[in-house]
């Protein structure tokens, strides 16, 4: 048997070589263990994420209703029993305040005025005569010229004649007031919506107004809104109104009803509209209320998915793994949906609910706004948009 002889120097170098060999084996072992983990992180699916944030839902409430005058003025003759002589305006005319709309025949009233003027003149003469006789006996009480009874009689006749003259004057003033009302005038300026009188009609013969005027020509939309939506509408809120001809106009909420109909559970909202010839009273329009309400936590509508367990979103955690979180949704509009219950503000959710992700899947989150990575707090190798080369 051959024996290999080693020198003392060779035996001293052997432990150092062995140490180097062992270190190399351990390094290779560590690399082989880290390789699968690094590969899984680099191969994780890139998904677009959006934060849960507070927004005002735009166009979340839709309603419809009739177009009505903001304020109607019903006009009829103030005196009865007179024939209509002329009608001066037609529907669609814009009239000024105080403008004459119709004229009544005042021939009969004119003769009554002449009679009353004559009666007043006669009463005035009689009053002056009685007052003159009373003045002549003034201060003769107890002097024996006339009895006190005769003196009082003349004073009484003077007062009675003066009262009769005042009554005739009042009758004349009444007739003159009636004469002034022979002209039916507009109480307000505005657009004439209806005319229900013809020449020859008798004043006071019916209860239907002769004229209907929209004050200042203003037409509004009276929209009917559910009780839940009514609480989210505010005065001054912008509204997009769609007319029956397809045209859209910008409106503003003028008034919100303080009560809800007990039967229909609907409340009314009056929407101020611009003055346009194609906006007519009696028409119909629909409205989409824009903004103005309180902000609420929202996510894109595409982030919410629905299955047998209800609505949910996929939340990306700090370890870049997704977790299914159940949510309760509220108002919708402008591509957003309100989260009544769900993840807190700032949580990252997968933008597309149809990404076919499973619970605990690892992903590479990419911000939707600027296609960047997840927040800096998630500084892990898996947050890189490109795998390390």
Per-residue pLDDT, 55: 82
Per-residue pLDDT, 65: 93
Q: Which residue do the tokens 């849960």 mark?
A: 52
Strands 183-185 and 100-104: antiparallel
Determine the length of the chain: 389
User: What 3-state class would DSSP assign to 122?
Assistant: helix
Per-residue CA distances from 182 to 74, 99, 159, 202, 210 (Å) = 17, 13, 35, 12, 14
User: What 3-state class would DSSP assign to 367?
Assistant: strand
Structure tokens at 232: 């989210």
Counting beta carbons within 10 angstroms of the beta carbon of residue 60, is it exposed (0 to 12), middle (13 to 18) or buried (19 or more)? Answer: buried
CA torsion sign, 318 to 320 to 321 to 324? positive
Per-residue pLDDT, 377: 36
Per-residue pLDDT, 1: 44
Per-residue pLDDT, 72: 93
Q: Which domains does the chain have, with CATH numbers?
A: 45-57+295-383 (2.40.420.20), 61-70+218-290 (2.40.30.170), 72-105+186-217 (2.40.50.100), 107-181 (1.10.287)
Per-residue pLDDT, 304: 92
Nearest to 229 by CA among 298, 302, 297, 287: 287
Per-residue pLDDT, 40: 57
Strands 72-75 and 100-104: unpaired
CA atoms of 109 and 81, how far apart (whole Å): 10
Per-residue pLDDT, 142: 57
Per-residue pLDDT, 140: 65
* Consecutive 10-residue averages of pLDDT for the chain (389 residues): 49 52 54 52 81 77 90 92 93 94 88 88 90 77 67 85 91 88 93 94 87 94 88 85 91 92 90 91 88 74 87 91 89 80 92 80 80 36 36
Helix, strand counts (H, E) of the chain: 4, 23
E strand segments, 257-291: 266-272, 284-290
Q: At 148, phi and psi to the nearest 5?
A: -60, -30
């Amino acid at each position: 048997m051959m024996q290999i002889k080693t020198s003392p120097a060779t035996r001293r170098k052997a432990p150092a070589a062995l140490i180097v060999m062992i270190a190399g084996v351990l390094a290779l072992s560590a690399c082989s263990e880290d390789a699968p983990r690094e590969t899984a992180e680099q191969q994780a699916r890139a998904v677009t994420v959006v934060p849960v944030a507070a927004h005002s839902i735009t166009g979340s409430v839709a309603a419809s209703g009739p177009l009505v005058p903001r304020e109607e003025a019903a006009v009829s003759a103030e005196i009865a029993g007179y024939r209509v002589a002329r009608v001066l305006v037609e529907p669609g005319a814009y009239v000024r305040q105080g403008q004459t709309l119709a004229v009544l025949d005042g021939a009969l009233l004119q003769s009554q005025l002449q009679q009353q003027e004559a009666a007043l003149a006669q009463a005035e003469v009689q009053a002056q005569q009685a007052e003159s006789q009373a003045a002549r006996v003034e201060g003769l009480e107890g002097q024996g010229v006339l009895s006190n009874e005769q003196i009082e009689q003349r004073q009484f006749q003077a007062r009675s004649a003066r009262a009769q003259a005042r009554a005739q004057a009042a009758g004349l003033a009444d007739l003159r007031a009636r004469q002034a009302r022979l002209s039916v005038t507009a109480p307000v300026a505005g657009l004439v919506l209806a005319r229900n009188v013809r020449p020859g009609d008798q004043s006071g013969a019916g209860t239907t107004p002769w004229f209907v005027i929209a004050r200042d020509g203003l037409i509004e939309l009276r929209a009917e809104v559910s009780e839940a939506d009514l609480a989210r509408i505010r005065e001054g809120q912008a509204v997009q109104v769609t007319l029956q001809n397809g045209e859209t106009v910008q409106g503003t909420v003028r008034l919100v009803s303080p009560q809800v109909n007990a039967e229909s559970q609907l409340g009314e909202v009056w929407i101020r509209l611009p003055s346009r010839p194609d906006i007519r009273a009696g028409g119909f329009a629909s409205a989409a209320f824009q903004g103005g309400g309180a902000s609420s936590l929202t996510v894109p509508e595409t982030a919410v998915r629905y299955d047998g367990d209800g609505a949910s979103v996929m939340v990306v955690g700090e370890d870049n793994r997704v977790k299914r979180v159940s949510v309760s949704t509220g108002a919708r509009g402008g591509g957003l949906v309100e989260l009544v219950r769900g993840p807190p503000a700032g949580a990252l959710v997968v933008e597309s609910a149809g990404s076919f992700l499973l619970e605990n899947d690892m992903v590479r989150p990419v911000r939707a706004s600027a296609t960047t990575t997840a927040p800096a707090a998630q500084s892990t190798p898996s947050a890189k948009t490109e795998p390390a080369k």
